[in-house]
């Protein structure tokens, strides 16, 4: 079993560079299946989710070459075949293969997706969109089969009952080669959706309105190759900004797009965090006398659900009482019990997190229950006095590229030990 060992209480300083966006690349890689030529992706993060996607693509017949942060994908040999259950079951974003395979072949057989356990995350919206475009669904054990019975998907008007990033992207993927026009209303607006639409448009797709709540796709017959730069990971950026405010003595975070983090940075400013924002970087000063705040997550451009857990350790340093309400994943509270093991004054009251600070954390054995909870425990371990041992670190490695090396360069006493 792999573990992360942290000897905390050491101030950190220096620079760190943010990698490409996990939540983009897990859709961009399946999107290349739609291409009729070679596609190159730059800025691909070195995370286990990407490794799983590459394995799946190769098993399907694609040729994939990796050189550092660059992926060269030749999808022309991809065959419509059932997806390998083991890889799919560990990867929530595997559902993007539904849209890509439907768009290319008119059918897809994929195991039910896995990923972090954050409570119900139904794919009903995805299926509703596919069915509206002419696909039929059947279940075979743990696999789902979607088929158009040899016909081309057809464009139509689709209204999303709730705002969903995954369903919005999947519908775009299916619609790009559909016959006619597809209009998605109440679409999600996240930057990762714009990133996927940019890739597809550079391949010859006709997508308008990405980043707004109405997206229009005119179907095309052919998508050529292109080269695409993945956007910076706004969740990784927010994680390191929170870390810098919690334990830093002057840390610069590079490759940051401020406009993707406005609501997060506004909440830090409300706390009294001192930082200097430049065109593509944020410098975070050493902090003192922070103020407790109340946080409520909401769809973009609101406060991101993925950032409430990494921010929690910083909140524990603030003066006063505060709360966190996650309207996206109400059950995203598993980090609370682990922080309590470290001495935090924090509890969950009816899915609402309530905390009081300031706190001095103490190192303890803790367990990462999901990706962003794991990031919270890393920050807490760096803040704490003594040794913190984190297990279930596979969750952390799913989404944070070279996290151990990046923290060591800032001066952290942190190491990864053991075997998978």
The binding site for phosphoenolpyruvate comprises: 22-23
Please count the CA atoms within 13 angstroms of the CA of 238 that sit on its side-chain side.
Answer: 27
326, 330, 335, 337 alpha-carbon torsion, rounded to 10° = 120
Q: Starting at the edge strand that comes first in sequence, how are the strands of the sheet with 136-140 ordered?
A: 107-111, 143-147, 136-140
Residue 282 phi/psi, 5° resolution? -135, 125
Helix (H) or strand (E) holding 15: strand 12-17
Distance CA 87, CA 359 (A): 40
Q: Which two tokens stand for residue 255?
A: 């490759």
Per the annotation, binding residues are 22-23, 92, 121-125, 306, 328
**Residue 137 annotated to the active site:** no
Burial-class residue 64 by CB neighbours within 10 Å (0-12, 13-18, 19+): middle
Catalytic residue among 12, 27, 116, 174: 116
With beta carbons less than 8 A apart as the criterion, state whether 204 and 224 touch: yes
Per the annotation, binding residues for UDP-N-acetyl-alpha-D-glucosamine are 92, 121-125, 306, 328
With beta carbons less than 8 A apart as the criterion, state whether 383 and 349 touch: no
Residues paired with 206 in a beta bridge: 218
Helix axes 305-315, 262-271, angle to 10 degrees: 20
With beta carbons less than 8 A apart as the criterion, state whether 267 and 293 touch: yes
| Catalytic positions, written as ranges | 116
């Amino acid at each position: 079993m792999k573990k992360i060992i942290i000897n905390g209480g050491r101030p950190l300083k220096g620079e760190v560079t943010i990698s490409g966006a996990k939540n983009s690349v897990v859709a961009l890689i399946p999107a290349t299946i739609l291409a009729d030529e070679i596609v190159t992706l730059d800025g691909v993060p070195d995370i286990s989710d990407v490794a799983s996607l590459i394995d799946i693509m190769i098993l399907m017949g694609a040729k994939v070459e990796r050189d550092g942060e660059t992926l060269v994908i030749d999808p022309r040999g991809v065959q419509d075949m059932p997806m390998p259950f083991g890889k799919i079951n560990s990867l929530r974003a595997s559902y993007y293969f539904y849209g890509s395979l439907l768009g290319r072949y008119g059918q897809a057989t994929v195991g039910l997706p896995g990923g972090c356990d954050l409570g119900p995350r139904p794919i009903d919206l995805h299926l509703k969109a596919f069915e509206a475009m002419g696909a039929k669904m059947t279940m075979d054990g743990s696999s789902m089969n979607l088929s158009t019975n040899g016909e081309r998907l057809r464009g139509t008007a689709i209204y999303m009952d709730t705002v969903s990033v995954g369903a919005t992207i999947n519908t775009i993927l299916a619609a790009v080669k559909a016959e006619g026009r597809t209009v998605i209303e109440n679409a999600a607006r996240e930057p990762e959706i714009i990133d996927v639409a940019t890739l597809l448009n550079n391949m010859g797709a006709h997508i308008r309105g990405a980043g707004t709540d109405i997206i229009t796709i005119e179907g095309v017959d052919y998508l050529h190759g292109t080269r695409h730069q993945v956007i910076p990971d706004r969740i990784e950026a927010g994680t390191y900004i929170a870390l810098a405010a919690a334990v830093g003595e002057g840390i610069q975070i590079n490759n940051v797009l401020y406009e993707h983090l406005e609501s997060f940075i506004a909440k830090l400013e409300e706390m009294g965090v001192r930082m200097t924002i430049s065109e593509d970087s944020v410098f975070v000063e050493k902090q003192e006398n922070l103020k407790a705040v109340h946080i409520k997550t909401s769809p973009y451009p609101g406060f991101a659900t993925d950032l409430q857990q990494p921010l929690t350790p910083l909140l524990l340093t603030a003066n006063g009482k505060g709360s966190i309400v996650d309207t996206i994943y109400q059950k995203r509270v598993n980090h609370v019990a682990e922080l309590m093991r470290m001495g935090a004054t924090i509890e969950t009251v009816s899915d609402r997190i309530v905390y009081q600070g300031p706190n001095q954390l103490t190192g303890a054995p803790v367990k990462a229950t999901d990706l962003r909870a794991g990031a919270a425990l890393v920050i807490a371990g760096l803040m704490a006095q003594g040794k913190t041992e984190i297990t279930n670190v596979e969750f952390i490695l799913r989404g944070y590229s070279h996290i151990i090396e990046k923290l060591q360069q800032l001066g952290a006493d942190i190491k990864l030990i053991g075997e998978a």
